[in-house]
Each structure stands twice: as C-alpha cells, then as structure tokens.
C-alpha cells in the first residue's frame, strides 16, 4: 500500500496543524525568545526547504549538536518534513564519541550551537571517520566562520531565512524520524532508529496518559532534561506541541529558574530526576507561587521514597506524582507508577501505558505467569524500527516476537511491574547468580557509602567474583573489612563482595547511569598495573 | 521497511493490552451479558482462530450483519487480529442493497444475527452476485440451521468455543481494517477502506479530545448509534476500549433505558443525535440521577439551537456539550465545536481535531485565505486508504494532495469552520449558483413545512431550475403559491423555487440524510408519468 500526502503520518505536520488552530500562542519559550506556533511552523518549513537546497534527500542523516534551544526543535521538525533522519548528539560526548557516531550514522549535515563548535571541530579534524559531513550549520555563533576543518559552514539564520511555500514530501509511516544512540551502559553505543509512526503513537498515547488537553486548558511544560535524549524530545515536548501547549526550554537544572516559571507562567507539568525534585522542593519551601497549577509531577530513574513523595505532594497539592520508566528502544514511557500504587506499591514500576503490552519471559521464550520472575519484554507500536548497522543486536532484541528490555522483574496479581535486576548485571559466582543491584542496594545502606557499583570480575575459583567499587561520603574513609562485615549482615554469604575497591567517583553517562563496562575496564587496568 | 509482531499497529491488540491491565473490568455490557476485558479478549482470540480455521487469510473480507451486540465487537476484533477486513453492513438495507455490497466487496464469510437472517437469505437466494460467500455464521439463532440458500452455516458459539493460544499474524500498518459503505446521498454507495493505522490514530486522538482517561476514572459510554456506522464503531467504542472503560450497547434509542444507565452506572459520556437529545432531556426533567457524572455530551449532524444546548446543560451540569462533524472517509471526528464557541459561534462546526488539518480550497486547487468560501478539505492520518474498486472516485477524492469533503464552507479569523453548503447541492440556475441548503433553511421557516429538499432539475431556460420538494406538518396543507410568496420574502429572486412539489415524506438514509439522487429520480418519474 502506498500512501499520499493526505494520509501521511509525519512528525513534521505537528506544527503545521497546531498553527492552524493556535497561530499566536507561544509554542517554544527559550529565554527571551518566544516562538509562536506560526513562527515555529514558518522556521521549520524554511529549515526543511533549506535542507532540501543543501541536497538532502529522504533518509539522509542530519546531526544536531545543541543544548536545549529553539533551533533544536526547528531542525527536528525541518528534518521530519522532508523525511530526513534527525540524529541528536549527546552534548557530553568526547570528540572520539562524536566521531564514533558519525562513522556509524554518516550524517551529511551537522547543525551545531556555538558552545559545541570546538568539540565538533576537534572531531572533524582528528577523526577521518567523520568524512560524511558535507556542511556545517552554526547557530548563535558570535563570529561566523566560512569553514570548519575544511567543511563549508553556513549560519543557522541563513538556513531559515527564506519565506517559502509549504514543503511537501511524501514520508512513509515507517521512515526513520530519528536516530538516538544508547548510552552504552554495558556495551558500545547502538543507533536506535525510530519511525514516524512509532514517535507519533508515543506522543498521542502520552497525551492521554499525561492528560494534555487541547484548547484553553493546554499544558505549559518546562523542559529541563536535554532534548538530545528520547524522554525530553519524544515523551515531554512532542505531546505538548501536539495539543497546542507551551514548552519552556532550560539549558540546565536551576531550581530558582523553575520557581520563576511557576510564578510567571501557568506551569501544568514538571518532569525532573529524583535529585532535582529534592532540590526543587527544598528551594520551594512551603509556598511556591503558581505551584497549585501543576497537575502532573513526573520523575524517572527509580522509585522515590515515601517521604520524598510526600514532600512533593505538599508543595504541589494538585499534582499527580508519576514515575515513568522506559528506554530509547521503546519510545517512552512504557510503564507508569500512578498515585494509586504509591501507598502500597511504592517501590514498583507501576502499570503499562495504554499502547504497550508488558510481559515477563522465561529463558526459552515462554511468557511467564503472574508472580514469576524473568526478563521484562514489550510489544506495541512505540517500538523502535531497529538498531542501525547491527543485525545481531536486532535479532537479539526482537527474538521470540517481543522486544527484550534487558531488565528482570515480575508482574504481580494486579499487573503491576516490579523491576528486580538488569540482565547484564548478574554476577555469576560459584554457580550462583548474584544480582548486582541487590548487592549495591545493601552496600548503599552503609552510612559511609555515597555511591557504589558491583560488577563480576574474572576469577579462577569463582568464575566471576563479586566486586564492589565504592565511593565514600565526603570526609569519611572506608575500610574493605568494614564493608564486607556490613554486607555479611545483610546478604547471603555468596553475595558478599570478595573485593572492595574505594574510588573517588564512578564513570557515568550524562543521564547518571553507571557505566559498568568502564568500571570493569578500570578494575582491569588497576590489577594489571 | 517490514515490521514485526512487536511493532505492529493492529486494532486486534486493543483487548489484548487492556486485558493485561484490567482483566476483570466490564468492557462490553449488552443487556444481561457483561463481557470483562478478559472475556472480550478470549472470545476475540477464539474468533480469530475460528476464522483462520475457515480458511480466511489476511485481506479476506468478513461481512457483519448485526445490530449492536457483543458478537459484533468480538467479530470486529477477531478480524483485526488476523488482518481480515471487517465489513459491517447497514441493517436497514434492502436485499438488493446487501447484494450490491457483496458483489463489490466479495465477502467470504458473513456473520449474521438472528434478526437479519431472513434478509441475508433473500439476498443470497435472489442475487447471484452474492456468490463469494462460502460460510454463514449465525448468532443468537433460536433454531440453528445447517445451510442458508445452499451455503453451510455454523453457529457463532462454535466459532468462538475453542480455548486457543494467542493468534499472532503480522498485520501491516496500512492493511485494511474495515470496509464501510457511504450512505449514497448523491451517488451509488462507495466502499471506504480504512487502515489499521488510520483507525488507531483516530482512536488515540479521540481519547485526547473526548478526555478518556485510563485507570480509575475510566469512561462509561452507552452506545446508542449503530455499530455498523463509523461514528459508533471508531469514534465512540474504540477509544473507550483503549483506555479500559465500558461500552453499554443499546439496540435502539430509548430515553428511559438511558436514564436507567445514568442511575445504575457511572455514565461519563453520551453521544446522541439532536432529536434524541431533545427526547432525553424531556424524559429527564429536572433531576436525572447520575447525570452529574456525565462529562461529555456529544452530538452530530448539525448545530443545535442555543435553547436546546441550555436544556442539555441544565440536565448535565458537569458536561461539555460538543458537536462533532466528520465523514466515513476521514475517520471521525474531523471538527469539534467546543463550549467556548457555543455562545458567539453557535452555528459553526468548530475547530479541527489535533490530528487533522482543515483548509478551504478554491476551484483550481489553491488554498484560500481565512474568510473566503470554498470546498472544505482535510489532511491527516485519519484519512481512509481509499475507495474500493473505484479509481475515478479516488483520484477525485485526493486531488491536489488534500481529501475533498464535498462540503463548502470557510474558516473565520479564529480558525473556526463554518459549513455553508454541500458541493453537490448547488443548483446552477441562470448562470447563478444557488445553495440548496440556503433555500431549504428558508422554506423550513414556514410554519406549515415539516421537511423539505431542494434540488436542481433540468430546465431549458435556466439550465437547472430550483425545485423544492416539501412535506407538510401533519394536518396542514401546502399551496405552491404560498410557499413561493414566503420564499420571495426571504430569498433573492433567483433563489426562489420555480416549482414546489408536495409529498408525504422524503427518501432518507438510515442516518437521516436526505437522498437527493432519489428525490431527483422521483421527480423525473413523476414528470414522465
């Protein structure tokens, strides 16, 4: 079945449709810059035309290296309108990391914001694997340049300066809208390719889940998490723009800036990481003007304590506090913990979203009954199209007709999902499987331990030995023996770390995930030296 | 791009996913029969397996001849699960009308409810064009038969009696989920083929628009309109089942039955035609127990008077009264009139839904600016895949890259859509275009006129002559001259009917649309006799 321009499911149509309804409403607030829907549409359309002028075709890749700014969203929609693949790059990468992604995804154009030009230049100059790049577009450059590492440069303003008729390209449902790399917790980053239909389904589903309403009671949502991650881009921003609301872009987390938003705008939604919620609640004290308008207080990463939830509810008395879980491969969220489960099932992940089927799978591909532990698997139209250039990973991810999350858990008799472990985080020691998460949780209970990672290291006797890498609370010292004694009090003997290594800090991704493969590498180099 | 079982957008997955969340909640109430989600899923899955056993493949057509009943929905989801095309048949058709659709769509299986067996038998026996039918499945038959017009019969209970593992068929996004025939207002019925992705987009979009919430505050929606129409099936029922709510099936409109629902169940949504709303409000009086739970009071066909809207608001004080407009070809709704427009723009159609772009097109395919009148055209993923067996109609419907509604109107400066005419209803008289709707509205202002239709009839002098066919109020008589004098008072001279014909009633479709082509045919036969 072919489709036509009428029927297409294309993310580039979001600002077009919203502009017909709400041309003068603020769509994107970025500091002093306020883009109405009409302006967002005009600039996105101009960007689409500009990218076509640069010779881009449907399926070509455009890299975005930008912090949260309106140019990011204009580039995203511009790409979508012509069926180009948008590849937002994590701004925390090294030049080598950037070069790896460029080598893998082969972007033809890079749109870069001033603060990341030096990083891009290093990557382009030092790594021949970046040779796919034919043009660099620079946003907010103080002194525009004509070339970067030999590649011609144009200013962003020139990309979008034309007033052009609507760009109309047939985009198929399963054309790739975006390429986002996994954070590489356990292996080298993989390119997650997601289709227009998957992102659109996720956005519509999220409108229902997060209660975004069209019309007069539309949403105002400060976006603090980085747009280069799937959550801020697909799960937070797009549903707001689908329903005529306003996103307020922040470049970093500043509790006072958020308190200012609450007072100055009718903020309806907030989404922060647990540590940010703590700081915001502390900064708010008892009375944050405007906090009564917030109807959804969303967080991610892991369940928060009952006490922290209570503190949030006190500051935001009209908000549902909701925990969202998911992953890049399955356009989030997949599972939400609703207030109704926060009293008795506070440590769970909650229940599946309406467009996702969550099950538990045994080692041979069999779906397990309620209460039994196994791998968490998903089905639903929010699934990625696949990993790029990695057929082995695709086969593994979709085996037995379900998407394999790599997480272990169980569904209780109410269909509530309980996460218990990460599959790759099992230490196989002496014929027993030891959950790294369980050991980590135990060690974090020690008053001197600020952070820790548990990994399995090769061991002649045990196969793998349970190894703990711990970061002390500032000002404290940690003794190997004390930690092991403490662990013995809380864990079965075979789970007690054989070795405890004290370090100043753990390698983490920009979202705060511990990079276990780097922890292992550091331990290896340490034992070799 | 091929898809896999994980990613598929398939309507058959709706009860599967809801069952994981809400297995014991009532999904479908049908008199004394209450199907929980778990039962709806089990029976739909059994129906899917049963249809496969009958030799059906992806793309084969299954006709449904049933009034509103749970077997209708089980058959619909059973078809969806295997990629079969579900073809609900209007229960008001003649045997000839049934035979026309069978000849056009070639169903392999017909699922028929007892009350329609005689009609089916007549169609099968009298019309050789029904020869595609290989099996009849009868629901609720008092005395089951082994054959019908020579075609083997099986009872519905046998179709769904197996307990089988989940049926898993790869269904592509653009596979046809349903085939619904246009009502044939102006021409012979056309098969509207709609894809899984279009119906799913419409259902998700409608969840947002109609504020269906998942979880504890889910919807309870009595379905009074027939499921064989797109509105009841796609726009009312599916969004409820997507979010874990309950549909309460009614076979016909009975205000007292609805009042009973209000009192006995926590009804949250109602959708009725204007005449039904009038009767319900009259029957309710001032206090209808349970009416305070209704949050959406939806209607269709045409704007209601301010007085009627006020009466509805009095009985349902917490409900938003919303007018929905759309058509089978563009899975409804396309446009909604919200309460914010019911004070000053009460006669408008309102504003586009979030997934649809509504524009006005001039005669050469140019999009017209605000305020200018032209054809109403649509774009968005809710569009049909196309008409079946009718390339000429497809070309016309999608010309210039927009779906042509056949309606005339304009968008005002707020983006509110005002319907002014139907394109096919223009009478071209003496070089002037006369809007039939305008003349009809004028004539309906005469106290003796109960109903009327205005058509253009061939005329040597005028090209077409404006011809009015009027139905008198019971007990009154109508004189041609009196009507023409009245018209002269309210209309420009060239719009005054040249001829007034008095009849007892007008030919209408089962949804109450006047069939202008039959009016014309009757006038022609009358002038020939």
B198 touching A, CB under 8 A?
A: yes
Buried b (16+ CB within 10 A) or exposed e, B23-50: beebbbbbeeeebbbbbbbbbbbbbbbb
The runs of H, that is alpha helices, within B358-399 are 391-397
For range B483-487, the mean pLDDT: 92
pLDDT of residue B162: 85
Question: Does the pLDDT at position A313 exceed 70?
Answer: yes
CB < 8 Å to A204, chain B: 201, 204-205, 207-208, 355
Confidence of residue A92 (pLDDT cuts 50, 70, 90): confident
Confidence of residue B438 (pLDDT cuts 50, 70, 90): confident
Question: At CA B71, angle to CA B66 and CA B73, rounded to 5?
Answer: 95
Question: Does the pLDDT at position A39 exceed 90?
Answer: yes
CA R_g for chain A: 24
Residues B209, B242: contact at Cβ < 8 Å?
no
A211 to B214: CB separation less than 8 angstroms, yes or no = no
Question: Does the pLDDT at position A180 exceed 60?
Answer: yes
Instruction: List Cβ neighbours of A446 (8 Å cut-off, separation of 6 or more).
Output: A482, A483, A486
Residue of A nearest to B360 (CA): A20
> In whole angstroms, how far apart are CA B206 and each of B302, B386, B419?
20, 22, 22
Question: Does the pLDDT at position B184 exceed 60?
Answer: no
Q: Quote the DSSP letter at residue B231.
A: I
pLDDT of residue A107: 97
A379 to B242: CB separation less than 8 angstroms, yes or no = no
Q: Exposed, middle or buried, B270 (CB in 10 Å: 0-12/13-18/19+)?
A: buried
pLDDT tens figures, A127-155:
888 889 999 999 999 887 899 999 999 99
Nearest-angstrom CA–CA distance, A194 and A126? 30
Nearest-angstrom CA–CA distance, A78 and A106? 19
Closest partner residue to B402 (CB to CB) among A6, A20, A198 is: A6
Of chain B residues 222-251, which have a CB less than 8 A from chain A?
242-244
Question: At CA B227, angle to CA B339 and CA B94, rounded to 5?
Answer: 125
CB < 8 Å to A1, chain B: 172, 174-175, 195, 385
Residue of B nearest to A10 (CA): B381
Q: Quote the DSSP letter at residue B305.
A: P
3-class state of residue A297 by DSSP: strand
User: Which pair of structure tokens corresponds to residue A189?
Assistant: 């980053």
A200 to B381: CB separation less than 8 angstroms, yes or no = yes
Nearest-angstrom CA–CA distance, A432 and A427? 8
Question: Does the pLDDT at position A184 exceed 60?
Answer: no
Report the candidate in A391, A10, A1, A16 with the shortest Cα–Cα distance to residue A166: A16
Chain A interface disruption, residue of B1, B3, B7, most A CBs within 10 A? B7
User: Which pair of structure tokens corresponds to residue A59?
Assistant: 């399926």
The partner residues of B456 in beta bridges, in order of sequence, read B466
Taking all residues of chain B, what is their mean pLDDT, rounded to a whole number? 91
Residues A296, A210: contact at Cβ < 8 Å?
yes
Chain B interface disruption, residue of A6, A17, A167, most B CBs within 10 A? A6
pLDDT of residue A171: 95
Chain B interface disruption, residue of A4, A5, A7, most B CBs within 10 A? A7
B21 touching A, CB under 8 A?
A: yes
A6 touching B, CB under 8 A?
A: yes
pLDDT of residue A274: 83
CB < 8 Å to B175, chain A: 1
Question: Does the pLDDT at position A321 exceed 90?
Answer: yes
pLDDT, greater one: A343 or B528: A343
Closest partner residue to A357 (CB to CB) among B16, B213, B358 is: B16
B401 to A6: CB separation less than 8 angstroms, yes or no = yes
Nearest-angstrom CA–CA distance, A182 and A185? 8
pLDDT, greater one: B339 or B250: B250
Question: Does the pLDDT at position A301 exceed 80?
Answer: no
Report the candidate in A471, A503, A500 with the shortest Cα–Cα distance to residue A486: A500
Query: Hunting for tokens 């479908």 — which residue is that?
Result: B28
A217 touching B, CB under 8 A?
A: no
CB < 8 Å to B192, chain A: none
pLDDT tens figures, B52-95:
999 999 999 999 999 999 999 999 999 999 999 999 999 988 88
B211 touching A, CB under 8 A?
A: yes
Work out the end-to-end distance of chain B between its first and last CA atoms, rounded to an integer number of angstroms: 62
A213 to B214: CB separation less than 8 angstroms, yes or no = no
B214 touching A, CB under 8 A?
A: yes
User: What is the distance in angstroms between the Cα of B259 and the nearest Cα belonging to chain A?
Assistant: 29
Instruction: List Cβ neighbours of A312 (8 Å cut-off, separation of 6 or more).
Output: A277, A281, A297, A304, A319, A321
Confidence of residue A512 (pLDDT cuts 50, 70, 90): confident
pLDDT of residue B461: 73
The partner residues of B36 in beta bridges, in order of sequence, read B26
Residue A13: CB atoms within 10 A of its CB come to 25
User: Which pair of structure tokens corresponds to residue B481?
Assistant: 């001259």
Name the least confident of A89-93, A358-362, B398-402: A89-93
Rounded to an integer, what is the distance from CA B162 to the centroid of its chain? 33
Question: Does the pLDDT at position A185 exceed 60?
Answer: no
Closest partner residue to B6 (CB to CB) among A4, A214, A398 is: A398
Residue of B nearest to A217 (CA): B340
Nearest-angstrom CA–CA distance, A491 and A468? 14
pLDDT tens figures, B301-320:
777 888 889 999 999 999 99
Of chain B residues 323-382, which have a CB less than 8 A from chain A?
338, 340, 351-359, 378-381
Residues A214, A367: contact at Cβ < 8 Å?
no
Instruction: List Cβ neighbours of B404 (8 Å cut-off, separation of 6 or more).
Output: B361, B375, B377, B396, B397, B398
Confidence of residue A16 (pLDDT cuts 50, 70, 90): very high
Residues B195, B173: contact at Cβ < 8 Å?
yes
Three-state SS sequence of A129-173: HHCCCCEEEEECCCCCCCEECCEEEEEHHHHCCCCCCCCCCCCCC
The runs of H, that is alpha helices, within A382-465 are 391-397, 436-444
A204 to B208: CB separation less than 8 angstroms, yes or no = yes
Q: Kindly provide the residue ranges of all beta strands, DSSP E only, lying in A388-474, ordered along the sequence.
A: 403-411, 417-422, 426-429, 432-435, 449-459, 463-472
Question: Does the pLDDT at position B441 exceed 90?
Answer: no
Confidence of residue A279 (pLDDT cuts 50, 70, 90): very high
Handedness of CA A319, A320, A321, A325 (dihedral sign): negative
Residue of B nearest to A369 (CA): B20
For range B434-463, the mean pLDDT: 85
B352 to A21: CB separation less than 8 angstroms, yes or no = yes
CB < 8 Å to A355, chain B: 17, 204
A359 to B20: CB separation less than 8 angstroms, yes or no = yes
A200 touching B, CB under 8 A?
A: yes
A103 touching B, CB under 8 A?
A: no
B244 to A357: CB separation less than 8 angstroms, yes or no = no
Residue of B nearest to A340 (CA): B216
Question: Does the pLDDT at position B104 exceed 70?
Answer: yes
Q: How many residues can be counted in chain A? A: 529
Closest partner residue to B208 (CB to CB) among A13, A208, A338 is: A208
Question: Does the pLDDT at position B291 exceed 60?
Answer: yes
pLDDT, greater one: B447 or B138: B138
Instruction: List Cβ neighbours of A338 (8 Å cut-off, separation of 6 or more).
Output: A320, A322, A350, A351, B215
B396 touching A, CB under 8 A?
A: no
Instruction: List Cβ neighbours of B201 (8 Å cut-off, separation of 6 or more).
Output: A9, A200, A204, B331, B355, B380, B381, B382
Closest partner residue to B357 (CB to CB) among A20, A214, A385 is: A20
Residue of A nearest to B244 (CA): A354
Q: What is the dihedral of CA A273, A295, B354, A45, to 10 degrees?
A: -40
pLDDT tens figures, A194-235:
999 999 999 999 999 999 987 667 999 999 999 999 999 999
CB < 8 Å to A403, chain B: 6
Instruction: List Cβ neighbours of A499 (8 Å cut-off, separation of 6 or more).
Output: A457, A465, A467, A468, A480
CB < 8 Å to A243, chain B: 208, 354
Residue of A nearest to B194 (CA): A7
A-B interface: how many C-beta pairs under 8 angstroms?
Answer: 154
User: What is the distance in angstroms between the Cα of B308 and the nearest Cα belonging to chain A?
Assistant: 24
A201 to B198: CB separation less than 8 angstroms, yes or no = no
B379 to A214: CB separation less than 8 angstroms, yes or no = no
Rounded to an integer, what is the distance from CA A204 to the centroid of its chain? 18
User: What is the distance in angstroms between the Cα of A119 and the nearest Cα belonging to chain B?
Assistant: 35
Question: Does the pLDDT at position A425 exceed 80?
Answer: no
B198 to A7: CB separation less than 8 angstroms, yes or no = yes
Residue of B nearest to A357 (CA): B17
pLDDT of residue B431: 62
Q: How many residues can be counted in chain B? A: 529
What's phi and psi for B505, nearest 5 deg? -170, 165
């Amino acid at each position: 079945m072919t489709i036509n321009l009428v029927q297409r499911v294309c993310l580039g149509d979001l600002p077009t449709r919203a502009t017909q309804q709400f041309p003068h409403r603020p769509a994107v607030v970025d500091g002093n810059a306020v883009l109405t829907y009409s302006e967002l549409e005009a600039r996105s359309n101009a960007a689409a035309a500009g990218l076509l002028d640069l010779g881009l075709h449907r399926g070509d890749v455009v890299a975005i290296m930008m912090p949260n700014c309106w140019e990011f969203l204009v580039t995203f929609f511009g790409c979508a309108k012509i069926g180009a693949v948008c590849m937002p790059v994590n701004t925390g990468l090294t030049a080598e990391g950037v070069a790896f992604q460029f080598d893998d995804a082969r972007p033809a154009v890079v749109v870069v914001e001033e603060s990341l030009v030096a990083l891009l230049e290093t990557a382009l100059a030092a790594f021949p694997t970046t040779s796919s790049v034919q043009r660099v577009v620079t946003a907010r450059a103080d002194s525009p340049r004509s070339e970067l590492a030999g590649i011609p440069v144009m200013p962003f303003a020139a990309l979008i300066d034309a007033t052009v008729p609507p760009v109309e390209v047939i985009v198929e449902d399963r054309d790739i809208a975006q390429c986002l790399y996994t954070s590489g917790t356990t292996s080298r980053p993989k390119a997650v390719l997601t289709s227009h239909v998957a992102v659109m389904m996720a956005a519509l589903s999220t409108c229902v889940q997060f209660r975004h309403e069209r019309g007069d009671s539309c949403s105002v949502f400060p976006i603090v998490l980085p747009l280069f991650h799937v959550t801020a881009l697909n799960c937070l921003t797009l549903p707001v723009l689908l329903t005529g609301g306003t996103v307020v872009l922040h470049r970093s987390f500043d509790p006072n800036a958020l308190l200012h938003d609450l007072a100055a705008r009718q903020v309806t939604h907030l989404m922060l990481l647990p540590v940010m919620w703590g700081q915001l609640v502390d900064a708010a004290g008892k009375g944050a003007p405007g906090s009564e308008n917030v109807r959804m207080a969303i967080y991610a990463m892991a369940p928060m304590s009952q006490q922290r939830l209570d503190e949030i509810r006190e500051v935001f008395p009209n908000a549902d506090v909701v925990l969202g879980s998911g992953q890049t491969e399955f356009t989030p969220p997949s599972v939400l913990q609703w207030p109704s489960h926060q009293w008795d099932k506070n440590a769970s992940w909650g229940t599946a979203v309406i467009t996702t089927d969550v099950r538990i799978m045994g080692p041979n591909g069999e779906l397990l009954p309620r209460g039994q532990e196994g791998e968490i698997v998903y089905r639903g139209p929010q699934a990625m199209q696949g990993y790029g250039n990695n057929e082995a990973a695709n086969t593994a991810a979709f085996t037995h007709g379900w998407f394999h999350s790599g997480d272990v858990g169980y569904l209780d008799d109410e269909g509530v999902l309980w996460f218990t472990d990460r599959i790759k985080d099992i230490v196989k020691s002496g014929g027993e499987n030891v959950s790294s998460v369980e050991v980590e949780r135990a060690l974090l209970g020690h008053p001197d331990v600020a952070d820790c990672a548990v990994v399995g290291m090769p061991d002649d006797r045990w196969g793998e030995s349970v190894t703990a890498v711990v970061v002390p609370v500032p000002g404290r010292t940690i003794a190997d023996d004390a930690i092991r004694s403490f662990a013995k009090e809380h864990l079965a003997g075979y789970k007690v770390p054989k070795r405890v290594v004290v370090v100043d800090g753990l390698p983490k991704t920009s979202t705060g995930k511990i990079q276990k493969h780097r922890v292992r590498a550091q331990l290896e180099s340490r034992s070799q030296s």
